[in-house]
Amino acid sequence: MTDAFRLDGKVALVTGGNSGIGEAIALAYAAAGARVVVGGRRPERNAATVEKLGDGHLAVTLDVADERSVEQAVATIVKAYGRLDILVNNAGVGQRASVMELELAAWRRVLDTNLTGAFLCTKHAARQMSAQGAGKIINIASIYGLAAPSKGLLVAYTVSKHAVVALTKVNAIELAAHGIQVNAIAPGWFFTEMTGELKGTDFEQSVCERTPTGRWGEAGDIVGACQFLASPAADFVNGVVLPVDGGYSASDGLRR
């Protein structure tokens, strides 16, 4: 049964794979035997992650919101390895602002990256996977794809992640006939570059109180779920949104 979780011989593209959760996923996939392609906009950071991965892995400069960039990245991967088996749509950005103040440009930037980027990468990866007769697509959603923050404000981010959940379900249904499973992971509160400034704040403590495990997630906490969904062990798992949140979404959050 252990072999069912291995990724030997598979080729995986992790968008936003040069830092935080994305880098942790990339490292875990490499350890499980996959050839990993790190996709990100910053070549120097991509290269630093590939150096950690070791020989046999690849970096591509990728802007997920630019269809030509996505198309070229997939073509580069197929030229290098002859296939693409796993896509992790991890690239994402956030924007904290009131709906009454949020600039249209900021709204579009978040939706373009979080939602349109996942759509474009899925579109071009699925074409290759369909030709192969198999593939795995994993979308990194959020607990704010299942609910909304208590004071609102994360308008574009919350809308984009709800839409990623919908994208997961509709694509899971369509692509199943091509041997492709599409699932999502909904992380809770994790310490990453985007949330590092919250360490030591009252908000950090508030999240700990709401979360049954009593702590925030670290990047390594998500890799087990990602490896499972990418592996043969998940061949009959499709259209699922898996919270990885320490129980946050199971709790009503009330102090008693």
Q: Output DSSP code: residue 147.
A: S
Active site residue 81: no
Exactly one of 29, 144, 157, 248 is catalytic; which is it?
157
Q: Which amino acid, one-letter code, is at 45?
A: R
Q: Output DSSP code: residue 217.
A: B
CA pair distance 44, 37, nearest whole angstrom: 14
Report the interhelical angle of 155-175 vs 117-132 (nearest 10°): 20
Residue 75 to residues 29, 82, 110, 114, 186, Cα–Cα distance (Å): 21, 9, 26, 22, 29
135-140/35-40 β-pairing: unpaired
What the block records as the tokens of 108 is 């579009």
What the block records as the tokens of 202 is 């009252």
CB 230 within 8 A of CB 10: yes
CA pair distance 190, 208, nearest whole angstrom: 11
Between CA 173 and CA 119, with CA 22 as vertex, the angle to 5 degrees is 35
58-61/86-89 β-pairing: unpaired
What the block records as the tokens of 189 is 């509160």
CB 118 within 8 A of CB 64: yes
Active site residues: 157
